[in-house]
Amino acid sequence: MSAFIQMTVANLRMTARNRVALFWNLAFPLIFIVLFGFLFSDTSVTINVGIVGADQSEVATSITNAMKATDGFKVSVGNEQSELDSLRNGDRSVVVVFGAAGSGQQVPTDVYWDSSNPQTGSVALNAVQSFLTQAGAGPASAQPIAVTVHSIVSSGLSYVDFLVPGILAMTIMNSGILGLASAFVSYRERGVLRRIKATPFPLSSFIAARIVSQLVIAVVQAVILIAVGILVVGLKLNGNLFYAFILVIIGSLAFLSIGFVIASFARNQEAADSIANAVAFPMLFMAGVFFPTDAAPKVLQPIIRLLPLRYLADGLRNVMVKNGSLGAQWLNISVLVFTAAVGFALALKLFRWESSAV
């Protein structure tokens, strides 16, 4: 047991001291979070307003036109059903529904805002409310409109909420596939594995120590990425972090197993790096790390459904920011567990101590 702990600690030490590994494991995902987090941050001045019933009354029409003419509002006019749907999926911050009113009567006005996104939502609500109040304060003594405010919980997340779990999934994939395959093949090429073979320490323990240290690294990565997400770019956790760590570990095992498979048949380190990149790169862009997979063309959808990264990103998003239960992630978890099982079985079958037969 002491040997196992020593080997695990040595792995962790080597990773912590390896600047290249530190860059790919931490700096690279952090750059993505901060860069994309600010690039697509929701603090932009434009507020998406949906207006329903703009032609219901003279007052409504004039308010709508006035809002359209104002910088800072992006006005869409539509029917109540579609506008509220847009609010629910996060495309609108506020929806204003003007009702019908007889002449001389106040126009009943319902304002819906997205309370799941309190910062943007309340800014948008305040802006629209003050606009409505000003617009209503016409020459007539009586207020022409009567405002009622409704809050709605949208399923639409802010981009940061979407991005951080995705980047976390990407990071786990990278250190699983790229980090492991490259390191293991280099150990084999340079004869480190043979030196291990010359000790009584069993191969299975050597691999297990590697896996345990990778899992520790994955959890540390998750803690740091989530912390930076919250503190720097305003990630709003809405879910169970414990579930998130369970998914981090299951996902890590799945990608480590892929890394082991690549390490088993790659002839040398360059080959391992190329294969690992060829596996990881398409996943990075197709599995919904940066953008929702719904946005991808239909022809790609069947391929996307085969990518393990999609299931990890999806699961992490559900449990981190959508308050999803672990049980509801059964599909995501099953795919990842299946990947890990097949991967490790294959890797053990293909394992080689040495680069060449001679």
Residues within the interface to other proteins (CB under 8 A):
2-3, 6-7, 10, 13-14, 17-18, 190-192, 194-202, 357-358
Q: Which is nearer to other proteins, 22 or 35 (CB)?
A: 22
| Minimum separation from the CB atom of position 273 to other proteins (A) | 17
For other proteins, the closer of residues 201 and 290 by Cβ is: 201
Nearer to other proteins, 190 or 267 (CB): 190
Taking the complex as a whole, the smallest distance from the CB of residue 335 to other proteins amounts, in Å, to 34
Which residues are within 8 A (CB) of 191 and not within 5 positions of it... i.e. 6 or more apart? none
| φ, ψ of residue 48 in degrees (nearest 5) | -80, 115
| Angstrom distance (rounded) from CA 286 to CA 138 | 53
**Smallest gap from residue 190 Cβ to other proteins (A):** 3
**Are 143 and 66 within 8 A, CB to CB?**
no
| Complex with other proteins: residue 17 or 298, whichever CB lies closer | 17
d(CA 8, CA 297) in angstroms, rounded, equals 44
Q: Which is nearer to other proteins, 81 or 356 (CB)?
A: 356
- 67 versus 193: smaller Cβ distance to other proteins: 193
Any bridge partners for residue 110, and if so which?
97, 148
Q: How far is the CB of 205 from other proteins (least distance, A)?
A: 9
CB of 180 to other proteins, least distance (A): 15
What is d(CA 124, CA 108) in angstroms, rounded to the nearest whole number? Answer: 20
| Token duo for residue 315 | 């699961």
The nearest distance, CB 203 to other proteins, in angstroms, is 11
For the sheet containing 73-77, what is the strand order?
A: 73-77, 47-52, 94-98, 107-114, 145-152
As a whole number of angstroms, the distance between CA 170 and CA 287 comes to 9
- Minimal distance in Å, beta carbon 9 to other proteins? 9
Say which residues have a Cβ less than 8 Å from residue 270's Cβ, sequence separation at least 6.
none
SS3 269: helix
* Minimum CB distance to other proteins smaller for 18 or for 62: 18
CB of 31 to other proteins, least distance (A): 23
Nearest to 5 by CA among 197, 209, 158: 209
- Residues 35 and 29 sit within 8 Å (Cβ to Cβ): no
| Helices and strands per DSSP (H, E), number in the chain | 15, 5
Q: Indicate the residue among 231 and 357 with the shorter CB distance to other proteins.
A: 357
